[in-house]
A = this chain, B = another copy of it.
C-alpha cells in the first residue's frame, strides 16, 4: 500500500497548494491513502468544518492534528461528527473526537493513530502507554498502522519510534514545521522520520510572517502573527507498506515547490 502523508497544512497558502496539487501527488506516488495534518488549517490555528470538508472532497482520507486543533470553538463540536478528523489520542478521557481511525483501504485494514508529546508541550497523558493501549485494542488483523506523533523534542520522537519499532508500519513526526532528513526503516520494519515538515509558505518562520515572528523575539509588545506568503511548498512523506506484514518497504521525503 502506498501512503501519502502531508505535513501540517498552514493557512490559505498551504490549503491552496494541497487543493491544486493533490491529484498530481496522488498520481506521482500512486497513493492508496492520503493523510494530512490539519492543526493549522484555518489561518494557522485549528480548522473550520468547510475547510475540512474541502479536503475530504478532493480525496484526503484521514486528517490528524495536534496542539492547535481546538483553538477554534467550532472544531470542538465538529470533531465528534467527523471520524476522519483525529485529535491526539492521549488527550484526557472525555475529549471530543477520537485519536484513532480504523478503516478499509482497498479491502485492507488500516489504522491511523494520532499522539502528542509532553516534552516542551502542555500536559497530556503518557504517549508511550497510550500507544500500547491503542495497539492492544486494535484488531490484530489490522496490519497497516500509521502513527502521527505531534511533538517538539527530537528525543521524545525518536524514543517513541524505537519503542514502536515492529509494532506499527510507520511513525512520523509533526509539529516543528521543519522537515528532518533522518527518514529510515528501523530494524523491525517501522518507517520513521522525526518531522515531515510543513505545507504552506516557506518565506516566513514555520509558516508565519517572518517580520511578525522576529518582532516577537525582539520585543515584548508585538502581538500580531499573520501567516506568511510566498515560497509555498508541500512537505510530507510517501510510504510503501507491505499489506501482508504491515512492515514498511520504503519511506521517502518530499518538499514540493508549488507555484499557482
Contact = CB atoms under 8 A, between A and B. Distances in A.
Interface of A: 70, 73, 76, 91-96, 118-120, 122-126, 128-129, 152-156, 158-160, 162-163, 176-182, 194-195, 197, 202, 205-206, 210, 213-214, 217-221, 223, 253, 255
Contacts of A124: 220
Contacts of A253: 181
A48 to B, nearest CB: 16
Given A178-B194, A180-B179, A223 B129 contact: no
A162 B210 contact: yes
Nearest to A183: B181
Secondary structure dominating the interface of A = loop
Nearest to A179: B181
B123 A206 contact: no
B126 A213 contact: no
Contacts of A126: 92, 123, 125, 218
B154 A181 contact: no
A92 to B, nearest CB: 6
Given A70-B220, A221-B95, A214 B163 contact: yes
